[in-house]
Amino acid sequence: MTAKLIDGVAVAQKIRDECRERVQRIIAQGGTPPGLAVIIVGSDPASQIYVRNKIRACANVGIKSFRFDYPADVSQDTVIDQIMQLNDDPAVHGILVQLPLPPTFDMSRILHSISADKDVDGFHLYNVGGLVVGGTVFPPCTPYGVLKLLEHEHITLEGKNVVVVGASNIVGKPMALMLMQHEATVCICHAKTRDLAQFTILADILVVAAGYPNLIQPEMVRTGAVVIDVGINRLSDGQLVGDVNFAGVVAKASYITPVPGGVGPMTVSMLLVNTITSCERWQQQNFVPIVKKFSSARAAT
Ligand code: GUN
C-alpha cells in the first residue's frame, strides 16, 4: 500500500479563496473589513516567520492586519494595556499573541486579557470551555485545520479509533475534544505514555503533535491507517520534518500528510476563517458580546 498524500497547500488555498469572497461580501454590504492584531514579544526566529506568514495571508484575502512588536524585556502590563486597547478597537476583530512568550511572562494572564469575542486563536477559557461542552465560537486553528483536511478527504470520524499523540493546550487537548464532538473514540498519548506503540497500533486515524522527529515508525502504525503529522521539526542539516518517519509510514498508511505542505498551511487558513467569522459576528444586528451574555441572563435569551 502507498498512502494518498493529503495536499494541505491545495486545501488551504481553497479555503483562502473562500475567505476572500467572504471579505468582499462584508465590504459590499457596507461593513467594516475584518481586522487582525498580531502581537509578538521577542525575536524567536520561528515565531518571526510564522507572524510574517500570518500577516501576508491576511493581505492576500483582504483582512487588515495590525502588527505590534515588543522586545523580550517589555513589561507584561505594557502588553496587557495594548491588548485592552485592541479589545475596544472596532477595527480589530481578532487578537493573536504569538507563542511562545518569553519565560518571564505569565502566559495565562496575557491570553485571558484578550476579549473572548476577539480570541481567534481559541485559547481563552470561555472558548476552551465551549470546546468541552460542545461548540465554541473560535475553534483553535491547528486542530480545526486537521478536521478540515479530514473532511476534504471524506474521512469520517464517527465510531473511529483516533489516537492523538501530544497533549498540548494548542493542539493535542483541543484536537481530542473536537474529535470527541464528532463521535470518535479518542485516546490521548503524551510524553509520559509507556509503550506508545500499543496505543498507536489501534488507531484508524493517528494524529501526531509531539515535536519529536521520527517518533512514529512504520511498525507503530496499523496498515491502512490515516496519519496526520502536525509536527514541524528543523533538523541540524536544516531539513524540515514532522514527527512521523514519512518514508516508512507512507508505505503502510492509506492517507498521510506531508511535512511541509500538510497541516502547516491549514493553521494560517483557519486563522483567517476565525477572523472573518469574528468580523461577521460583531456586525450581526443582534450581536451580544460573550461578556454581556454572562453579566445579564436576559441578554442571553
Ligand atoms: N505558536 C505556535 N502555534 C501557535 C498558534 O496557533 N497560535 C499562537 N498564537 N501562537 C502559536
Instruction: Report the CATH number that the domain containing residue 196 is assigned in CATH.
Output: 3.40.50.720
For residue 6, is it within any domain?
no
- Decide: 98 in ligand 1 pocket, CB within 6 A: yes
| 120 pLDDT tier (thresholds 50, 70, 90) | very high
- pLDDT of the residue at 293: 75
For residue 172, is it within any domain?
yes
Dihedrals phi, psi of 250, to nearest 5 degrees: -60, -25
For residue 94, is it within any domain?
yes
| 297 pLDDT tier (thresholds 50, 70, 90) | low
State yes or no: pLDDT of 290 exceeds 90. no
Beta strands in the chain, from DSSP E residues, in sequence order: 4-5, 35-41, 64-70, 94-97, 161-165, 185-189, 205-208, 226-229, 233-234, 240-241, 255-256
Shared domain check, 182 and 72: no
- Decide: 121 in ligand 1 pocket, CB within 6 A: yes
Ligand 1 centre distance from Cα of residue 98 (Å): 5
DSSP annotation of 216 reads: B
For residue 276, is it within any domain?
no
- pLDDT of the residue at 298: 59
Shared domain check, 207 and 100: no
For residue 83, is it within any domain?
yes
Shared domain check, 243 and 185: yes
Print the domain residue range for 240: 141-264
**Distance, CA of 68 to CA of 56 (rounded, Å):** 15
Calculate mean pLDDT across residues 118-127.
Answer: 96
Dihedrals phi, psi of 97, to nearest 5 degrees: -105, 115
- Decide: 170 in ligand 1 pocket, CB within 6 A: yes
| 161 pLDDT tier (thresholds 50, 70, 90) | very high
Calculate mean pLDDT across residues 248-261.
Answer: 98
For residue 258, is it within any domain?
yes
Shared domain check, 245 and 145: yes
Pick from 49, 95, 99, 230 the residue to mutate for probing ligand 1's pocket: most ligand atoms within 8 Å of its CB: 99
For residue 21, is it within any domain?
no
Pick from 112, 121, 230 the residue to mutate for probing ligand 1's pocket: most ligand atoms within 8 Å of its CB: 121
| 89 labelled catalytic | no
Give the domain-ending residue among 97, 115, 133.
115
pTM for the whole thing?
Answer: 0.96
Q: Positive or negative, the Cα torsion across 136, 142, 145, 149?
A: negative
Calculate mean pLDDT across residues 161-186.
Answer: 98
Shared domain check, 232 and 193: yes
What is the identity of the amino acid at 172?
G
Shared domain check, 181 and 90: no
Give the domain-ending residue among 115, 131, 158.
115
| 160 labelled catalytic | no
- pLDDT of the residue at 246: 98
State yes or no: pLDDT of 136 exceeds 70. yes
Shared domain check, 174 and 101: no
For residue 273, is it within any domain?
no
| CA-wise closest residue to 142 among 106, 111, 99, 109 | 99
What is the number of domains present in the chain? 2
